[in-house]
Structure 1
Amino acid sequence: MMFSIYEGLLDMIALFLSVLSGTPSLASRETFYPPLNHTTFITNTSLGTYGGVYHAPTDQASPIREEQNYNYCTMPHPRGDTYSLPPPVADHSVNARLVYLEYLQRHQRRTPYNILPGGENQEYNCDNIHPHLYAAPAAQGTPPATVYGQAYFDPSNPFLISYVNGSCQYPQLTIGGLLDGYQHGRDLRAVYGDQLGLIPDSPDARVWFRSSSSALTQGSAGGVLRGVFPEHTGPIPLHQQAASVDTVDRGFPCSAQNTLLATIQSTPVWNEHLTVTEPLRTRLSTMFNATASWTSTVDHFADNFQARLCNGYDLPCRRQNESDCVTPDQANEIFRAGDWEWNYWWRTNPHAMRYIQLVEGLFIGEIVRKFEAVQQGQSDLVYSHNFVHDGDIGPILGALGIKSLRWPGMASNVAFEIWETSDSQFYARVLYSGSAIETIYGTLDWIPLSALIDILQPFIPDDIISMCRSS
């Protein structure tokens, strides 16, 4: 799973040139594929966000950007005005039609998982969104009251001093995230319904929707599917596996995952990245009373900063001294280090294949079986949509051999398109956040479906129970 030496040299040369020229001027797709194979990517302050976007409004949908840059707050996705047909179909060298879409996406933007240990200096308010919490009988019966969860905090609660005031749960979908979801769904309708005629006008037996057991993915599904089916009334089934054995979001028990992760995070390469980030991690740890669980990776700080900026809030300040604040340069270094860590976990560490097998192999197997059913003419589905997490998108992109992997942002998405030619041959195209994915196998813009299955097949474990018990 390591990049070749040649590819690594090219990345280092590109990075060296960018240092000479200052902050690089990047084309949209370049921002998805930074040179992540060396820790100088983390420490080179001239790179800034490497063309990435980390800002979005508080209570509005994210602005539609002409450029399709890496946008952590709301990743690009297939849109009617930017979507293009596969090259052989577009130039009429092949007569083919789209017969199946497998779509995966992370949930839309949200509040943070990780509240600063020293407490937050700003309130978070979620009064403008209602997370509904109710059950209804499947058959006819008395309908329930449509209750929703309204977070509040009693000022007499002594734990508030080291927490955050406001009206949000952490994490929860924000109104901006919900509005982004509506637009996401409308855009999918424009491409795969209006333009390509694949998605039916209303959900029927040809469509399948799945989420994790998280309220984040369920709430995102409600927003996106409203956009996909704007005229539909009535409930839509959103399939979920039991949380304790779920094949997404690390639902099933597997002690070998943590054992292998500890091995991955003890290599000389990983330790080098800890060394170069140590001054900043120590500084932030002092500012916010963070313990070792916060500083063993940059995940916690990155999550907190991303969720703030992506919902219109400022970077945090120390609660005891509000003139002592995180600077944009410090946040950018955390974001670059986060990208480096994700690339190492799922692409370049020497145990990446086995780690993907342990974490995401069962879900990859489910996807491949759907592809095989289409290939064999045994599928009744034309559209399957999965609402999952960054921890699911990352390993799938790793399995596809993405050229370099930045942290999959909010609503990051993978579209597996299956096309059937006039002579009954099946071809696949894989779009990552709206554009053909660039991988170690080339750009996956038009390959035999069997070749895509061959790429993914090695990541499907033969005996996951035995693998999980081994350590």
Structure 2
Amino acid sequence: MFSLLGMGALARGVYAASLSHIDTFYPTGLNYTSYITNSYLGTYGGIYNAPANQLTEGSPYGVYNYCSMPHPRIQEYELPSVKEAKIVYLEYLQRHQRRTMYNLAPGGENQPFDCSTIDAYLYSASPQAGNDPVLVYADVYTDPNNPFMDALPYVNTSCMFPQLTLGGLLDGFQHGKDLWAVYGEKLGIIPKEPSNKVWLRSTSSPLTQQSAGGVLRGIWPEWKGSLPLRQQSSGVDTINNGYPCNARNNILDAIEATDDWNEHLNVTADLRATLGAMLGATSSAWQKSFDHFSDNFQARLCNGYALPCSFTNHSNCVTVEQAEEVFRAGDWEWQFYWRRSPQVIQYIQAVGGLFIGEIVGRLQAVLDGKQEYIYAHTFLHDNDLGPILGAFGIDIMRWPAMGSNIAIEIWETTAEQPHKAPTTIYYARVLYSGHPIKTIYGTLNWIELGELISILQVYVPEDIISLCGTT
């Protein structure tokens, strides 16, 4: 039996136990608002808790675990059935690991977060400087004489919001170790040490950079040097909403004006009002969707903290049942944003189209025999993975959780032809958090690379400047 907010609350344990691991990724009924309001569903088998300052352990492989999603792992990894195939390229995309929240409760946080167990390093270096820099790190504190301590519902904390937690760093080390076991030792596509055959990238957010440091150390534990982690300038970055695009907000407004969206707000009106009054979260930023509530609750539970209570009445706390409904509503919203809304193609193009185009370009280079890399790894955010999963046509999309990952494996085969030289054919497998992804095109366990490129190409805008309306 799993713990509270593990495989569902105890009262729903029998139901949760009847779900297969893969079922927890693709909830039945997520297209309907009755999924949100049906308390019997609990977390639909999902896990939403993890210990503070420790590695995430204990969840069966394949279960939707919001705190640390599954990833390719040697114990469960299955080779393709085509025995003579050889892997020639790996495109790996992942969300950062566990972190503190973005959104503090406006009415005040009744539990201060402690990040004294992890050091967030900040320094610059140059061979031309003549000396190595002092390895300084951020040590967050609050002066007790700061007048805003009493004037605002401020939480005295040693954390930044957001930042990687020690638990997230430890999960990152393990994530990297497991990737090396599969794609390094077993398949040989990740080289034994970094080389010019490797492409590493992150957003400009320290959160993704911190996560990269942990995962890459897990992959290359003996590497002594530094590594370039490529980033684009924040004003034109093709991930993390980095480039200007008026259409993003316009399309989102249209999505949130649909009858379906309003229905989900109507059925959750009492829940949002109750939580808003309890946590001082009555602004539109908290009430127009479940993004902020989910973020706050997830960050707490995934780092060993309890659900929040009122800052002024510590006996008035968020219940497990309320949190479960928030999480179900968050999943419904992600399915609607990236799979069901009438504006889904335009929204994916506006938010993720340029980065999807970069992925397509790298895959096309493999198909054309011109790809210089064998392994590309990008560290990004949930709002980057959502459009990509939508472009693949994932059957059902729950919120892409901490450490969520997509592995696009490219395999090379040869076809014999009478009186001709053998022909090289490239196939792709797309794994989502370790499993072949289930999509409207079928399970993408073995698909010709050209077909996969065609699926994604639809979401690459022909003219992003015109689409975004920034001229």
Report Cα offsets for 1:259-289 as digits up to 9, x if no partner: 1100000000000000001100000111111
1:3-42 → structure 2 map (5 Å cutoff): 25-34=18-27, 35-42=29-36
Tell me what 1:449 maps to: 449
- Aligned partners of 2:61 and 2:70 also within 8 Å: no
- Aligned partners of 1:403 and 1:440 also within 8 Å: yes
Q: Offset of 1:164 from its aligned partner?
A: 1.7
- Aligned partners of 2:392 and 2:456 also within 8 Å: yes
1:233-244 → structure 2 map (5 Å cutoff): 233-244=224-235
Question: Pick from 336, 348, 354: which aligns with 2:340?
Answer: 348
Over the aligned positions, Cα root-mean-square deviation in angstroms equals 1.4
Q: Offset of 1:310 from its aligned partner?
A: 0.2
Tell me what 1:157 maps to: 146
Report Cα offsets for 1:391-424 as digits up to 9, x if no partner: 0001100000000000000010000000001341
Letter in 2 for 1:425: I
Q: Give the whole-Å Cα distance in 2 for the aligned partners of 1:47 and 1:344.
A: 19
Tell me what 2:293 maps to: 301
Tell me what 2:66 maps to: 72
Q: Give the whole-Å Cα distance in 1 for the aligned partners of 2:172 and 2:212.
A: 8
Tell me what 1:289 maps to: 280
Q: Give the whole-Å Cα distance in 2 for the aligned partners of 1:345 and 1:234.
A: 42
Tell me what 1:273 maps to: 264
- Aligned partners of 2:92 and 2:377 also within 8 Å: yes
Question: Pick from 233, 247, 257: which aligns with 2:248?
Answer: 257
- Aligned partners of 1:122 and 1:165 also within 8 Å: no
- Aligned partners of 1:41 and 1:336 also within 8 Å: yes
Tell me what 2:403 maps to: 411
Q: Offset of 1:157 from its aligned partner?
A: 2.7
Tell me what 2:469 maps to: 469
Which 5+ residue runs of structure 2 have no aligned equivalent?
A: 1-11, 416-423
The reply to whether residue 62 of structure 1 matches residue 56 of structure 2 is: yes
The reply to whether residue 376 of structure 1 matches residue 368 of structure 2 is: yes
Tell me what 1:4 maps to: none
Which 5+ residue runs of structure 1 have no aligned equivalent?
A: 1-18
Tell me what 2:220 maps to: 229
Q: Offset of 1:213 from its aligned partner?
A: 0.1
Q: Give the whole-Å Cα distance in 1 for the aligned partners of 2:390 and 2:60.
A: 28
Tell me what 2:420 maps to: none
Q: Give the whole-Å Cα distance in 1 for the aligned partners of 2:216 and 2:470.
A: 41
Q: Offset of 1:162 from its aligned partner?
A: 1.1
Q: Offset of 1:293 from its aligned partner?
A: 1.6
- Aligned partners of 2:236 and 2:242 also within 8 Å: yes
Report the CA distance shift for 1:22/1:433 in structure 2 as closer, same or farther (over 3 A): closer
Tell me what 1:175 maps to: 166
The reply to whether residue 337 of structure 1 matches residue 329 of structure 2 is: yes
The reply to whether residue 110 of structure 1 matches residue 99 of structure 2 is: yes
Report Cα offsets for 1:68-112 as digits up to 9, x if no partner: 2000000000001011012x22xx3xx110000000000001000
- Aligned residue-pair number: 447
The reply to whether residue 44 of structure 1 matches residue 35 of structure 2 is: no
Tell me what 1:137 maps to: 126
Q: Give the whole-Å Cα distance in 1 for the aligned partners of 2:60 and 2:291.
A: 30
Report the CA distance shift for 1:410/1:22 in structure 2 as closer, same or farther (over 3 A): closer
Report Cα offsets for 1:142-182 as digits up to 9, x if no partner: 11111000111123334334122220000000000000000
- Aligned partners of 2:115 and 2:159 also within 8 Å: yes
Q: Give the whole-Å Cα distance in 2 for the aligned partners of 1:287 and 1:463.
A: 46
- TM-score (ref. length: structure 1): 0.93
1:380-399 → structure 2 map (5 Å cutoff): 380-399=372-391
Q: Give the whole-Å Cα distance in 2 for the aligned partners of 1:297 and 1:446.
A: 37
Describe the SS at the equivalent of 1:426.
strand
Tell me what 1:459 maps to: 459
Q: Give the whole-Å Cα distance in 1 for the aligned partners of 2:21 and 2:470.
A: 43
The reply to whether residue 128 of structure 1 matches residue 117 of structure 2 is: yes
Q: Offset of 1:195 from its aligned partner?
A: 0.4
Q: Give the whole-Å Cα distance in 2 for the aligned partners of 1:37 and 1:360.
A: 22
Question: Pick from 138, 146, 153: which aligns with 2:135?
Answer: 146
Report the CA distance shift for 1:409/1:180 in structure 2 as closer, same or farther (over 3 A): same
Q: Give the whole-Å Cα distance in 1 for the aligned partners of 2:414 and 2:188.
A: 17
Report the CA distance shift for 1:22/1:385 in structure 2 as closer, same or farther (over 3 A): closer
Describe the SS at the equivalent of 1:245.
coil
Q: Offset of 1:23 from its aligned partner?
A: 5.4
Letter in 2 for 1:429: R
Q: Offset of 1:470 from its aligned partner?
A: 7.5
Tell me what 1:11 maps to: none
Tell me what 2:319 maps to: 327
Q: Give the whole-Å Cα distance in 2 for the aligned partners of 1:281 and 1:29.
A: 30
- Aligned partners of 1:115 and 1:163 also within 8 Å: no
Tell me what 2:352 maps to: 360
Q: Give the whole-Å Cα distance in 2 for the aligned partners of 1:383 and 1:52.
A: 31
The reply to whether residue 310 of structure 1 matches residue 299 of structure 2 is: no
Tell me what 2:198 maps to: 207
